A = this chain, B = another copy of it.
Amino acid sequence: MADICARHPDRFPAWVASLPMNNVAACLEELTYAIEHRGAKGIQIFTNVNGRPLDEPELAPIFERMHAYDLPIWLHPTRGAKMPDYATESTSKFEIWWLFGWPYETSAAMARMVFSGFFDRWPNLKVITHHMGAMVPYLEARVGLGMDQMGTRTAELDYTSIVKAMREKGRRPLDYFKLFYGDTSVNGSAPAIRCGLEFFGRERALFGTDCPFDPEGGPLFIRETIRAIESLDLPHDVRDLLYAGNVRRLLRLA
């Protein structure tokens, strides 16, 4: 990917590294090599590591390092049919694991990062969520008012102290969810892009398409995402930030 970017800088202005998350030492070595020696502008990770959540302490050095580089982390969902949707079943049917399971993965990973304290530990951590924040923008007021009451649904553990500590910093749980970035990869839905933009705001929404995973094998998602964005009649400056300005700033591109 570094070579492709070097050969076609007009088409491919930057690339990000994929990492062996199951081996933290190798992961750190690879991301240092990719960023410092090959010019990678970020990393892509998945929402779980062989079924483990991203807030396991062993993985912290990876986020620590990315925070120090001040470069973004692309968060991509992953899940297979082996995660059942019902307690009495052993697999997920009808590809629900993909359809809704993937956005659920993204949303759950965001919650784990928020409530385990990622953004208190690494205040400028930049995490770009796929599917424009997945479940969060549509359910923003559930996240807001619902998690203001966090702890009232749980007897065995004291979750109220988490919200109390946030409140002492002048923040609600929802404020932390607004620290993520979202890409416009919602398969060309204008209502969703508008809803997502209202949630993330002009500085934290980024153009993305999920190309080539459409029925045409590439062009459809690009075309439809652009069509959806154009249909929203956004102010010129917001449109420019969405298409290019925000990613230029995040990746420190010329």
Contact = CB atoms under 8 A, between A and B. Distances in A.
Given A100-B104, A142-B99, A150 B94 contact: yes
Contacts of A153: 95, 98
A87 B48 contact: yes
Nearest to A196: B138
Nearest to A187: B141
A232 interface: no
Nearest to A138: B138
Contact of A195 (B116, B138, B147, B148): B138
Given A87-B83, A220-B145, A138 B108 contact: no
A58 to B, nearest CB: 12
A215 interface: yes
Contact of A53 (B86, B145, B149): B86
Interface range for A = 35 or more
Contact of A138 (B52, B104, B112, B186): B186
A194 interface: yes
B87 A186 contact: no
Contacts of A141: 186-189, 192, 224
A208 B72 CA distance: 39
Interface string A57-97: 00000000000000000000000011101111100011110
A139 interface: yes
